[in-house]
Structure 1
Amino acid sequence: MPSSPLQWSKRSLTAQAMGHVDPVTKGVVMPIHVSTTYIRDEDNAYSSGFIYGRPDNATTREAEGVLAMLEDADAGALLFSSGMAAATAVFQALNPGDHVVASKVMYWALRHWLMSEATRWGLSVDFVETDDLDALRRAILPGRTKLVWVETPSNPLWTITDIAGAAEIAHAAGARLAVDSTTASPFHTRPLSLGADIVMHAATKVLNGHSDVVAGVLAGAKADEFWGQVVTIRKGQGAILGPFEAYLLMRGLRTLHLRAGAQARSAMDLAERLSAHPKIARVLYPGLPQHPGHDVAARQMENGFGYMLSVQVSDGEAAAIRTAARVRLWKRATSLGGVESLIEHRASIEGPGTPCPPDLLRLSTGIEDVEDLFGDLDAALRSA
């Protein structure tokens, strides 16, 4: 890579992991740094820049550098041991009594955490349909609302929130906007460029893409006091991603553009074909013109509309569950974004209080042949 790498595209920079070469061996793949402690200089300083493994690691830094580049994050990126660890660190940086507005439809585990643990710490949380900017504006409490948390596309209904519009509302009230962009990934959306202050990813999903790493990441628009508090929280809680996991994540990131592009094309193909299927009552996918958030998605997403879609089965909940039981190529498993396609009856997982319709199946499209994926699902639907 040249001394001024910005002349290269994000795709090229990601494929070569920013062009870094091991200074000792000249290897094109950086080594895994596993040491937890480092030699002090004679004057007790640390000229290497590394002190201890809990707050910092060289392998983790490599992956963070690529993620910061992908997100145009001036403050940089921070890798965490899970997506939940990354997300909750943002809320932990708030003060007791602060008010939060969050998307009503969002990742179930985080929603549950906000309804239980966050309120025990003194945070006040209101959930609204953030795709309705008027509803978001009405939910803001002047002087109290400090954070607006938006998930878009939201899991598992794939509603779309206007990031630029949400940022304008949050900033007018003196609040920050954080965006969970897990299902979009920086391949489709860069929230910081649309006005968000922080973007979060469960890097377990499409960023890694191989269902073998649990990780989370935050990327910040600017290194202000709030971002510094998030850095302190990760350091104090020891929530950094380990070097082996960071290495695997970096390996996955190098093919992000190929995987995410292929998965989005297959998801679009499946969404269109399933929309005409006699056993499907409704397809939820922002790439479809009839999706209520399609116009906003078309403005703020590029390279397609992502790899996630949901379908509502015409014959109801029992037929949906039977369909998931009868697929052969699709895998009945939780998670999303991997190279293998997954299917899940989400309401069964989330339980009472879920906003997920009982007839809904969540589909995570992998990189298999799309004809095989459709054929397998078609056969299961017809036999259910």
Structure 2
Amino acid sequence: MDFAFDARTEELRGRLLAFMDEYVHPAEEVAERQRAALPSPWHTPPVVEELKAAARARGLWNLFMPGDEYGAGLTNLQYAPLAEITGRSPQLAPTALNCAAPDTGNMELLAQFGSGRQRARWLEPLLAGEIRSAFAMTEPDVASSDATNVQTRIERDGDSYVITGRKWYISGAMNPACEIFIVMGKTDPGAEDVRRQQSMVLVPRDTPGVEVRRAMKVYGYEDHYHGGHAEIVFDRVRVPVENLIGEEGGGFAIAQARLGPGRIHHCMRLIGMAERAIELMCRRAASRTAFGRPLAAQGVVQEWIADARVAVEQLRLLVLKTAWLMDTAGNRAAHTEIQAIKIATPRTVVEILDRAVQLHGAGGVGQDFPLAELWAAARTLRLADGPDEVHQRSLARRELRRHL
């Protein structure tokens, strides 16, 4: 693996860093002011549309999408340092570049498994940033860390599927611009192979029987920039058979294909969050005095900053190695590394953010700094796309298999 960024990556990094300084960071306060006048917390502040237009004009659009048919044609290794930069402002930057979850995973899913009609109807407006989407898998009544537990039913009835079930923490679904749900449920609950029981269907938001019941909070936050996290009830929702994605029984495999890139994208952005935390720690330490000495002169503060720098450099190398393996050997061959970064990155970034909060005192837990909200987002990622323990279990089994 070559540790140097290639010429295209360096050029895009420079362009993106300039965009962040000129547009994104100044827009953070503007967006917060505009939000007070919006009809709901989940409507998009007008400045976000301005950012999207500026990003698109500068060629900073759909950078996540592999191949050049729909995206920028970047490899995972090329995209990694760009996603890291957007992680410095996770509320605005990913959306500005049309690189925000869950739309990214949904676009990849539709590009890989969707029919021509499905891609024309839903993928194209998503790629254009005209609509948003959600991925409805997690359920409140079962342990969703095991996706085979999903209980939502998708039953064939003539030329239609009828969907009945309840989902929650469906990211992005509170945003009024969210027009389409990708719903995972069971079409054949009696199938011998539990991984062939599930299927995925496309459900437009305005379909009769779809009820977006409430917004779920994350550590007290509405997570409005992410489009919120909704509880959704599907009460005998009827959609055409042509809304099936792929084949019946293929839902579990499609979900796994979707989650691999999603996990590494989260880790890339988390590193950017950690970098911003370190920057805030250093500024705070240099500007505050306690007990007659600057905080920067306190030994414990120096240890926190040094440890954070070491940890971030370790994480970045592991994420870059994983991206390189995904590009050169495929996602399946990089399974161990994907799980390793999914375990290590959120856990470590939470620790860095926690120390940054501590260094900021009361300010660290309030709204005048982004640290508390960043901490909540990072802590949530120890659950999203599979909790730590599931990845540890799978990773340990793979290691043990080599010796048993």
Task: Flag whether TM exceeds 0.5 (same fold).
Answer: no
Q: Which has the higher helix share?
A: 2
Which structure is higher in RCO with an 8 Å CA cutoff and minimum separation 6?
A: 1
TM-score by length of 2: 0.28
